[in-house]
């Protein structure tokens, strides 16, 4: 039933939506890695960025450049039917897509393994040649990320081209027969993949044991950073395994057992790869503290732009506007009820000071502040939950820097008091 409902149109819509989400998430992650990585994590910046870049290449190919369907006949022939941009380019571009896709998949595996390898030497063997020599680290990066993946991608693409029975120059279709040596090669790659998993488990187990023994007298900040890196690496390795490695093994099994279901399964597999990229980007940002703080600061700025803050504004007489139900002003330059009352009472206090009664003026000011900030006064104020207008500092600012109109009114009111007293 599900196989009939999950048509090519539904698959295209789902894939496009996930690709849009991944574009936003990976773009933010890439910027955070490049611009917000602190000096203490500088050594991991390249590995995090290369992992994100590998996902970007793979998902761009699967979702935008050349999405394709996979079918398999009873005779064992596998057919790739291409859509998207590559269906218009055709020819050699189809095989170029196969090369880049294979290279990106191998780069994801290499990036994850290299992160564990580097972490192992930094924690367990900090004085080794690899840990102290940037030249050796760069050489290992080149071997793991370029020297090994490129020949694998070339060999896979060459095998498909060699056994292809169609002409990609005329139709965006590639049909080939999976020969025995191709299955042998695929089996060898699965063995390598299994060795990568086992070695990563061994690396992280040794790292955890070493940290547990050596971090007893370390500061809380050091322990927190080490814990953060360890958890991040574990999560970034589990995500590709669940959403990438395991589905590939299931896909090979489906080809043998139920070839008629291969099309639907591989459509779901491509969705799984896209979800993997999204989760990898999200996990990188949320688990690495500097990236998470950058995300929260961005969200805070967006939220702050939607809130009108007038607590530090200098209130002026005659600019009283309406107050919304949430405690904010509905017109520019308006005052809250508290500031309005404080303005009037402030004029009276200044007038008392002006006519020679400073002690009375000071006591009047203190009493005014106590009234405006009292709980009972706030209960009758609109927007009393988190009103920025009732802050005591705003009242002090009003007294220390009175406006010209307030000074004028104070002088006039003081004159009337002097005349009245006399």
Question: Average pLDDT, stretch 258-276?
Answer: 84
Banded pLDDT at 175 (limits 50, 70, 90) = confident
Residue 395: per-residue pLDDT: 40
Question: Average pLDDT, stretch 160-184?
Answer: 74
Q: In the numeric block, which tokens belong to residue 293?
A: 């703080």
Tokens 């597999």, located at residue:
269
pLDDT top residue among 261 and 151: 151
**DSSP state string for 354-368:** HTT-HHHHHHHHHHH
| H-helix or E-strand spanning residue 68 | strand 68-72
Question: Average per-residue pLDDT in the chain?
Answer: 75
Class of domain 8-297: mainly alpha
CA dist 281 and 174 (Å) reads 33
Residue 401: per-residue pLDDT: 47
Residue 332: per-residue pLDDT: 38
CA dist 241 and 235 (Å) reads 10
* pLDDT one-digit tens code per residue, 50-103: 999 999 999 988 888 888 888 887 777 888 888 888 888 877 888 888 899 889
CA dist 103 and 54 (Å) reads 8
Banded pLDDT at 159 (limits 50, 70, 90) = confident
**DSSP state string for 166-210:** S-TTTSSEEEEE--HHHHHHHHHHHHHHHHHHHHHHHHHHHHHHH
Q: What is the pTM of this model?
A: 0.66
Q: What is the largest CA-CA distance in the chain?
A: 116
Comparing 218-227, 369-378, 396-405, the range with the smallest average pLDDT is: 396-405
159-to-62, 110, 190, 233, 342 alpha-carbon distances in Å: 20, 22, 18, 34, 83
| H-helix or E-strand spanning residue 44 | helix 42-60
Banded pLDDT at 336 (limits 50, 70, 90) = very low
* pLDDT one-digit tens code per residue, 191-213: 888 888 899 999 999 988 988 88
**DSSP state string for 71-125:** EE-TTSEEEEEE-STHHHH-THHHHHHHHHHHHHHHHHHHHHHHHHHHHHHHHH-
Residue 350: per-residue pLDDT: 60
Q: In the numeric block, which tokens belong to residue 363?
A: 């006591």
Comparing 39-53, 209-223, 228-242, the range with the smallest average pLDDT is: 209-223
Contact predicate 356/382, CB 8 Å? no
- Delimit the domains of the chain by residue range: 8-297
Question: Average pLDDT, stretch 371-386?
Answer: 51
């Amino acid at each position: 039933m599900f196989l009939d409902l999950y048509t090519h149109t539904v698959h295209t819509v789902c894939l496009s939506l996930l690709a849009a989400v991944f574009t936003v998430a990976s773009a933010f992650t890439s910027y955070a890695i490049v611009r917000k990585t602190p000096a203490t994590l500088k050594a991991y910046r390249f590995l995090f960025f290369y992992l994100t870049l590998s996902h970007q290449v793979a998902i761009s190919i699967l979702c935008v450049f050349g999405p394709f369907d996979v079918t398999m006949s009873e005779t064992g022939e596998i057919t790739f039917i291409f859509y998207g941009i590559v269906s218009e380019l055709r020819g050699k571009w189809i095989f170029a897509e196969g090369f880049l896709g294979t290279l990106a998949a191998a780069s994801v595996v290499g990036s994850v393994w290299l992160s564990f390898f580097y972490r192992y030497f930094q924690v367990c063997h900090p004085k080794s040649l690899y840990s102290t020599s940037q030249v050796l680290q760069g050489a290992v990066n080149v071997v793991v990320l370029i020297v090994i993946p490129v020949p694998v991608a070339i060999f896979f693409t060459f095998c498909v081209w060699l056994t292809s029975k169609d002409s990609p120059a005329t139709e965006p279709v590639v049909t080939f027969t999976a020969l025995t040596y191709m299955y042998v090669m695929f089996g060898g790659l699965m063995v390598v993949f299994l060795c990568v998993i086992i070695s990563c488990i061994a690396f992280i187990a040794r790292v955890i044991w070493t940290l547990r023994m050596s971090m007893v007298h370390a500061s809380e900040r050091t322990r927190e950073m080490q814990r953060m890196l360890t958890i991040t690496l574990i999560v970034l390795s589990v995500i590709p395994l669940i959403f990438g490695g395991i589905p590939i093994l299931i896909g090979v099994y489906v080809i043998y057992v139920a070839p008629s279901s291969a099309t639907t399964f591989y459509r779901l597999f491509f969705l799984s790869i896209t979800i993997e990229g999204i989760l990898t980007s999200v996990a990188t940002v949320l688990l690495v503290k500097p990236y998470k703080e950058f995300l929260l600061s961005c969200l805070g700025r967006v939220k702050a732009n939607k809130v009108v803050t007038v607590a530090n504004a200098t209130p002026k007489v005659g600019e009283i506007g309406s107050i919304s139900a949430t405690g904010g002003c509905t017109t520019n330059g308006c005052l809250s009820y508290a500031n309005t009352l404080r303005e009037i009472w402030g004029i009276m206090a200044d007038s008392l000071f002006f006519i020679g009664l400073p002690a009375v003026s000071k006591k009047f000011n203190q009493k005014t502040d106590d009234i405006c900030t009292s709980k009972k006064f706030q209960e009758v104020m609109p927007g009393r939950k988190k009103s920025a207008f009732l802050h005591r500092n705003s009242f002090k600012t009003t007294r220390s820097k009175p406006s010209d109109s307030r000074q004028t009114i104070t002088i006039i009111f003081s004159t009337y008091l002097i005349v009245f007293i006399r």
